[in-house]
């Protein structure tokens, strides 16, 4: 019976190389993704539940969760708006230097995050170019949560731009023309016709940006200042614990970040699947 099922499957597959390519992929996934995760779980197994609970509910750590989540949320929302705008400008208009701007969008990915962090910290510190202008207004960016959000936004903006851009390119101009011939104002056409098309991509991009921001380290530590209970982010806490050779403690905190990220990614994927199903007429 099993043999029969196998042969039948073999007959049906037309594309060659299934066994080999899937095998290599799985090996790779195991080595790169699963093995480190396993060691993380291994570290955790040294802890009892009560120790684990004690570690992850340390007040200083709880404060860092709040700072990280809030800053990441602000950064993600900022990116949702600004990234959508950038994608819109890059797709819908022709202007000199468009190619350059398009290439610049990837810079945050290419730039070492530490470089970004140092640059931002220098720019926004009280005697930096921008910080100097903001200080008289009573706004300080460096060493506050605003700075953290700023650094997070900087490193994660490409997620939004690069997920929204291709969807926007695929959106036929006819669709907003149709809305206009039906008397819709620009705002209404955008809100009821264009935005719903972009919605899955925008949510995915924003979600990815958020998840990325949760774990951001390099860019943030320089501008965050790391004042306990105020500007300490969770990834910094992991780093601090590692420096104290507290591997179990570091793993415990890491497991929280990991679980949050995985849950979020899963939620985004499930939601997106449902949405896309509807666009394709329930045929998946």
Residues near other proteins (CB under 8 A) are 94, 172, 174-175, 177-185, 188, 192-193, 196-197, 278-283
Closer residue to other proteins in complex, CB, 136/172: 172
Buried b (16+ CB within 10 A) or exposed e, 264-273: eeeebeeebe
Closer residue to other proteins in complex, CB, 227/277: 277
**Which of 166, 11, 168 has its CA nearest to residue 92?**
168
Q: In the complex, what is the shortest distance from the CB of residue 192 to other proteins, in angstroms, rounded to a whole number?
A: 8
Q: In the complex, what is the shortest distance from the CB of residue 89 to other proteins, in angstroms, rounded to a whole number?
A: 16
Closer residue to other proteins in complex, CB, 138/172: 172
What is the dihedral sign for C-alpha 150, 151, 155, 156?
negative
Q: In the complex, what is the shortest distance from the CB of residue 197 to other proteins, in angstroms, rounded to a whole number?
A: 7
Asked whether the beta carbons of 121 and 144 are under 8 A apart, the reply is: no
Closer residue to other proteins in complex, CB, 112/166: 166
What's the rounded Cα separation, in Å, for the pair 205 and 76? 9
Closer residue to other proteins in complex, CB, 88/275: 275
Spell out the residues 6+ positions from residue 200 whose beta carbon is closer than 8 angstroms to its own: 167, 272, 275, 276
**Size of the chain, expressed as the number of residues it contains:** 284
**Which of 100, 206, 118, 217 has its CA nearest to residue 158?**
206
What's the rounded Cα separation, in Å, for the pair 15 and 249? 48
Closer residue to other proteins in complex, CB, 35/276: 276
Q: In the complex, what is the shortest distance from the CB of residue 83 to other proteins, in angstroms, rounded to a whole number?
A: 21
Q: In the complex, what is the shortest distance from the CB of residue 278 to other proteins, in angstroms, rounded to a whole number?
A: 6
C-alpha pair distances (Å), 175 with each of 23, 74, 135, 150, 204: 43, 32, 47, 35, 23
Spell out the residues 6+ positions from residue 149 whose beta carbon is closer than 8 angstroms to its own: 70, 71, 72, 74, 75, 78
Q: In the complex, what is the shortest distance from the CB of residue 176 to other proteins, in angstroms, rounded to a whole number?
A: 9
């Amino acid at each position: 019976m099993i043999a029969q099922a196998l042969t039948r499957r073999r007959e049906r597959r037309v594309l060659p190389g299934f066994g080999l390519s899937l095998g290599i992929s799985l090996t790779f996934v195991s080595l790169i993704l699963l093995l480190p995760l396993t060691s993380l779980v291994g570290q955790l197994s040294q802890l009892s539940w009560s120790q684990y609970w004690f570690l992850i509910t340390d007040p200083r750590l709880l404060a860092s969760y709040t700072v990280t989540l809030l800053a990441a949320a602000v950064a993600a929302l900022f990116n949702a708006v600004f990234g959508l705008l950038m994608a819109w400008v890059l797709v819908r208009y022709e202007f000199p230097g468009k190619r350059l701007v398009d290439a610049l969008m990837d810079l945050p990915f290419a730039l070492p995050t530490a470089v970004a962090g140092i640059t931002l910290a220098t720019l926004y510190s009280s005697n930096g170019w921008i910080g100097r202008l903001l200080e008289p207004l009573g706004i300080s960016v460096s060493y506050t949560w605003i700075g953290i959000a700023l650094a997070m936004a900087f490193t994660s903006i490409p997620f939004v731009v690069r997920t929204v851009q291709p969807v926007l390119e695929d959106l036929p101009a006819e669709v907003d023309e149709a809305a206009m011939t039906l008397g819709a104002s620009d705002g209404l056409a955008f809100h009821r016709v264009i935005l719903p098309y972009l919605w899955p991509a925008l949510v995915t991009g924003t979600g990815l940006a958020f998840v990325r921001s949760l774990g951001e380290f390099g860019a943030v530590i320089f501008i965050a200042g790391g004042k306990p209970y105020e500007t300490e982010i969770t990834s910094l806490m992991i780093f601090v614990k590692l420096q104290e050779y507290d591997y179990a403690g570091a793993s415990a905190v890491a497991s929280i970040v990991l679980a949050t990220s995985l849950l979020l990614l899963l939620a985004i994927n499930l939601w997106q699947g449902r949405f896309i199903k509807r666009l394709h007429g329930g045929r998946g």
